[in-house]
C-alpha cells in the first residue's frame, strides 16, 4: 500500500465514522498493512533533528488528521508524554520500539504521580492505540537497538500541543507543555 492510498482510505473513513474510537478500529487494519508493505524510503535516514528523534509529516498541513513518520536513532527515546486527548495509534515501519503506557495516580499542586504499565515491544505492523483518558494517553517510546527504527503515528485530529512529564525530587513528575514540531 502506498502513502496516498492510506491517506485516501483514512479520509474516506473519517467521512463515514463520527465516533473516534470506531474510526480508529476501522483504520487499524490499514495501518498494519501499510506498515508491512509501505512505500516510504526509510533507507535515507535523517541525521539532524529539532528533538530527540526526527518527525516528518506525511499529510498536508491543512488535512484534518496527521500521519507522521518518526525516525529513531540507535538508543534514542522520547520522554513520557501525552497526546492532548487526541485519538490515534502508532506502529513500527522498520525495526522495533518499546512503549510503556502510564496511568495518572494523583496530583498535588504542580506535581503528577504516574504509574507505569507493562512495557510492550512494537514490531512492524503491530498497532498500539492512543485513546483519550488517563490510562492510554501517556506513554514513552524508545529504540533500544543499535540500528535505526521508524514508526508511523496517526492522529485522528491534528496534534498541536502536548505535555512531557519530567521526574522531580518529590517522586512525581512535572508536567511541561510543548508544541509539536516537524523536522
- Three-class DSSP category at 171: coil
Predicted pLDDT at 99: 96
Instruction: Retrieve residue 145's grid coordinates.
Output: 537497538
Number of domains forming the structure of the chain:
1
Output the domain CATH number for residue 151: 2.60.120.10
Mean pLDDT of all residues in the chain? 90
Of the two residues 163 and 181, the one the predictor is more confident about is 163
To the question of whether residue 37 is assigned a binding role by annotation, the answer is no
pLDDT tens-digit map of 117-151 = 889 999 999 999 999 876 668 999 999 999 889 99
To the question of whether residue 25 is assigned a binding role by annotation, the answer is no
Backbone angles phi, psi at 136, to 5 degrees: -120, 15
- Parent domain of 33: 3-179
pLDDT tens-digit map of 37-90 = 988 876 566 665 555 778 889 999 999 999 999 999 889 999 999 999 999 999
SS3 sequence of 6-67: HHHHHHHHHHHCCCHHHHHHHHHHHHHHHHHCCCCCCCCCCCCCCCCCEEEECCCCCCCCEE
- Side-chain-side CA neighbours of residue 17 (13 Å): 16
Q: How many residues are present in the chain?
A: 183
Record the pTM.
0.92
Predicted pLDDT at 40: 80
- Three-class DSSP category at 118: strand
- Give yes or no for a contact between 75 and 147, defined as CB atoms under 8 angstroms apart: no
Amino acid at each position: 500500500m502506498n502513502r496516498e492510498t492510506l491517506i485516501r482510505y483514512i479520509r474516506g473513513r473519517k467521512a463515514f465514522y463520527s465516533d473516534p474510537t470506531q474510526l480508529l478500529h476501522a483504520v487499524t487494519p490499514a495501518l498494519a498493512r501499510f506498515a508491512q508493505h509501505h512505500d516510504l524510503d526509510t533507507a535515507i535516514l535523517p541525521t539532524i533533528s529539532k528533538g530527540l528523534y526526527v518527525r516528518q509529516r506525511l499529510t498536508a498541513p491543512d488535512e484534518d488528521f496527521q500521519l507522521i513518520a518518526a525516525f529513531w536513532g540507535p538508543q534514542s527515546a522520547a520522554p513520557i508524554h501525552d497526546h492532548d486527548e487526541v485519538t490515534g495509534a502508532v506502529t513500527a515501519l522498520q525495526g522495533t520500539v518499546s512503549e510503556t503506557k502510564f496511568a495518572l495516580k494523583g496530583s498535588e499542586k504542580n506535581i503528577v504521580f504516574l504509574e507505569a504499565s507493562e512495557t510492550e515491544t512494537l514490531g512492524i505492523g503491530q498497532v498500539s492505540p492512543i485513546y483519550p483518558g488517563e490510562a492510554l494517553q501517556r506513554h514513552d517510546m524508545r529504540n533500544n537497538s543499535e540500528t535505526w527504527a521508524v514508526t508511523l503515528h496517526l492522529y485522528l485530529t491534528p496534534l498541536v500541543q502536548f505535555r512531557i512529564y519530567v521526574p522531580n525530587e518529590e517522586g512525581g513528575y512535572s508536567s511541561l507543555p510543548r508544541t509539536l514540531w516537524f523536522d
